[in-house]
Amino acid sequence: MKFTEEHEWLDIEGDVVTVGITDHASEQLGDIVFVELPEVGTVVTHGDELVVIESVKAASDILAPVDGEIVEVNEALTDNPALVNEDPLGNGWMFRMRIEDPAALDEFMDEAKYREFIG
């Protein structure tokens, strides 16, 4: 797994990356009440806003960590957005994307560096 400074996690399997938010981000947001997911087939560029998360505390956007195409979204979040709070690193994943350049993932943190980052 890799982690971004925006508190996203990336689980890498070949050229497909599963993306979600970390435990830390989930705790900071509080109870999540709504998740708007991207459309499958959407071609994205690093930094594009892909997911809108609304919680009892705030609204937040999940950004595309790298360039690629959305190949799957977690439809379960539409009916049960609380999955993000209950299991952010598992069943609370947001989307899967096929990435254009696997080398772009080298810039992200491993778990030890992420833990140091959040202090």
The answer as to whether 32 is a domain residue is yes
DSSP letters spanning 62-82 = EEPSSSEEEEEE-THHHH-TT
What is the average pLDDT across 13-22?
A: 95
Supply the pLDDT for residue 93.
97
Tokens of residue 75, six digits: 């439809």
Supply the pLDDT for residue 57.
87
The answer as to whether 113 is a domain residue is no
The answer as to whether 15 is a domain residue is yes
Supply the pLDDT for residue 77.
97
What is the average pLDDT across 40-45?
A: 97
10, pLDDT greater than 90: yes
Other C-beta atoms closer than 10 Å to the C-beta of 15 total: 13
The answer as to whether 30 is a domain residue is yes
Domain range for 94 is 2-101
Model pLDDT for residues 83-118, shown as the tens digit of each residue: 999 999 999 999 999 999 989 999 999 999 999 999
The answer as to whether 59 is a domain residue is yes
CATH code of residue 54: 2.40.50.100
The answer as to whether 117 is a domain residue is no
**DSSP conformational letter for 103:** G
Q: Which strands make up the sheet holding 59-63, listed edge to edge?
A: 32-36, 49-55, 59-63
Supply the pLDDT for residue 48.
95
Model pLDDT for residues 51-79, shown as the tens digit of each residue: 999 999 889 999 999 999 999 999 999 99
Q: Which of 7, 22, 17 is nearest to 106 (CA)?
A: 17
20, pLDDT greater than 90: yes
Question: How many structural domains are present in the chain?
Answer: 1
Q: Is 65 exposed, middle or buried (0-12, 13-18, 19+ CB in 10 A)?
A: buried
Supply the pLDDT for residue 58.
86
Task: Please tell me the total number of residues recorded for the chain in this structure.
Answer: 119
